[in-house]
Structure 1
Amino acid sequence: MFLCPVLVYCIVFVFMFVLSPVFLFVVCEFCALYYLRRLVVSFSLVYCSCFHFAPPWEVFCFIFLCSVFPHCGCFCSVFVFCIINISVNPFTACLRLGSSSVSARTIRRHLNEMKRYGRRPRGTPLLTQRHKKARLQFAKMYLSKPKSFWENVLRTDETKMELFGKAHHSTVYRKRNEAYKEKNTVPTVKYGGGSKMFWGCFAASGTGCLDCVQGIMKSGDYQRILGRNVGPSVRKLGLRPRSLVFQQDNDPKHTSKSTQKWMATKRWRVLKWPAMSPDLNPIEHLSRDLKIAVGKRRPSNMRDLEQFAKEEWSKIPGERCKKFIDGYRKRLISVIFSKGCATKY
């Protein structure tokens, strides 16, 4: 009589690491020993949690049913286990049961059923926790600013344009076997055939001056560019000089001691800008528009590139600039909602 419970206990303990907890629940339900049933249930829950990756709320359901209904709790646990893990998501049930013969096509199909589709990841700036914190503080600080404040901000930035850059060319629609016709090709040259750096600015009323940077721009060159272009741009755009806010990114030429000292003599109010935040500067969209417009004209030399760039910059409508400024508050809300991470802008 004493060997019978011990034998049953050994058999159950051995099968604990081989069979599914569902089978163990059925066995212990028909087992006449009350304490042995409780012991089997305990080992089954541990097995289910450790080897079948059951969420804690499922384990809680099993413990609750076994405690409230000691005689039929195991059967109820089997029913709950089957409903949760098989009826709701058969794909997850197969993975939990240790199936290793799931094809990649099956995985993709089930991911598509769960509204998960394969897409190429978007490129975003590398943001550290310090960057995210600074972006979040900036968004919270300026969220309550009125629209009139942003309309008097002069936004500036530099952009590089290649003579034969391919990033701004649009899609070509052609017939079959016409891929290498001249009208369907884009000429390419090593290193883009040369490039030029441009400094530009804009406000809510339109675009300001666009200046070409000669050679490698240093702090002194940057100061001379600002001296030549900021004043005429302010007068052209009708900004109020006394309440003017100057915006620039954190490029070393912009934040050097000599540049800061030079700006202090001009008594400019400089907007404190968070690093790694191109999505907060609408001038990035205008730079892209400029590259697309110049690329369509296909300049053949550096002189044409500079001329076309200045012409297309002046053609950007003021309504587009105003649209960016009017919707700027949405950018700040987006940064707050994403807790300082990159946004869709």
Structure 2
Amino acid sequence: MVWAGISSLGRTPIVFIPTGVKINAQTYQKLVLKPIVKDLSKSMFNNEPFLFQQDGAPAHTANTTQSWLHSEIPDFISKQEWPPSSPDLNPLDFSVWSILQTKACCKSHKNLEALKRSIICAWNEIPQETMRMAVEAVPSRLRAVIKKKDGYIE
């Protein structure tokens, strides 16, 4: 499994979840939130506050994850505020993952390490302008979902 994050200002490093590791609240916090997300305010946002959004995966919505986010990330969209199954509102889902997949998987790979290298290379090749445009598309997509009365827009 692969985890990544984007903003209009930058991107996180790609996080590869080791083969065989089950993603639950504890592993998500240990492998992603604490080493990557906790320092985003410093590393990406010049110590300015930022709004953290994640999808509705069980590890993301677990009470312990929500509690950790509440104490460590001042502004995050809680599971009560975020609609379930909402790929139309997640810039990684509606834009970036498909670009990454197209770039990284355009050829076969000899092994897992080769695939990981290809993913990292492709991730770093995606222009920041693409990330910014995806993030900035969220408000208009939110309005479109509301207009459709919570229906999918794509």
Report TM bin, short chain: 0.7 to 0.9
Q: 1:290–1:313: 8 Å Cα contact kept in structure 2?
A: yes
3-state secondary structure, aligned to 2:29:
helix
What are the Cα deviations for residues 217-250 of structure 1, in whole angstroms up to 9, with x where unaligned?
Answer: 111110012111124544443x254521110122
Instruction: Identify the residue that residue 54 of structure 2 maps to in structure 1.
Output: 248
Distance 1:240 1:275 in 2: 31
Question: Alpha-carbon deviations, 1:196-227, whole Å to 9, x = none?
Answer: x0010000123222100122211111001211
Aligned residue number for residue 226 of structure 1: 33
Corresponding residue for residue 278 of structure 1:
87
Among 203, 208, 222, the alignment partner of 2:12 is 208
2:118 corresponds to: 308
The answer for the alignment partner of 1:262 in structure 2 is 68
SS of equivalent to 1:248: coil
Q: How does 1:1-345 map to 2 (within 5 A)?
A: 197-214=1-18, 215-224=21-30, 225-237=32-44, 239=45, 241-271=47-77, 272-284=81-93, 285-344=95-154
- Partner deviation per Cα, 1:111-130 (whole Å, 9 max, x = no partner): xxxxxxxxxxxxxxxxxxxx
Q: Aligned pair count?
A: 147
Q: Check the 8 A contact 1:209/1:232 in 2, yes or no.
A: no
Report which of the two structures shows the higher radius of gyration computed on alpha carbons: 1
- Conserved 8 A contact 1:290-1:312: yes
CA contact (8 A) 1:207 1:313 kept: no
For structure 1, the 5+ residue unaligned runs are 1-196
How far apart in 2 are the matches of 1:282 and 1:296? 22
For structure 2, the 5+ residue unaligned runs are none
Deviations, residues 271-296 of structure 1 (Å, cap 9, x unaligned): 13111110111111211111111112
State the AA in 2 paired with 1:229.
Answer: I
Paired with 1:330 and 1:246, the residues of 2 have a C-alpha distance of 18
TM-score for the superposition, normalised by structure 2: 0.85
Q: More displaced, 262-271 or 330-339?
A: 262-271
Report the equivalent of 1:168.
none
Structure 2 distance, partners of 1:270, 1:329, is: 16
Q: Call closer, same or farther: CA 1:299–1:235 in 2, change over 3 Å.
A: farther
Separation in structure 2 between the aligned mates of residue 251 and residue 227 of structure 1, nearest angstrom: 17
Q: What CA distance in whole angstroms lies between the structure 2 residues aligned with 1:267 and 1:206? A: 18
Q: Give the distance between the partners of 1:273 and 1:335, measured in 2 at CA.
A: 13
The structure with more helix, counted as a fraction of residues: 1
Q: Distance in 2 between matches of 1:236 and 1:317?
A: 19
Whether the 8 Å contact between 1:334 and 1:343 is mirrored in structure 2 is: yes
Looking at structure 1, the residues matched to 47 and 86 of structure 2 have their Cα atoms a distance apart, in angstroms, of 26
User: Which letter maps to 1:342?
Assistant: Y
CA contact (8 A) 1:208 1:236 kept: no
Matched residue SS, 2:13: strand
Match of 2:35, SS state, is: helix
CA distance in 1, matches of 2:71, 2:146: 35
- In structure 2, how many angstroms separate the alpha carbons of the residues matched to 1:307 and 1:232? 24
Cα displacement (A) at 1:261: 2.3
Equivalent AA in structure 2 for residue 227 of structure 1: K
The alignment's C-alpha RMSD in Å is: 1.8
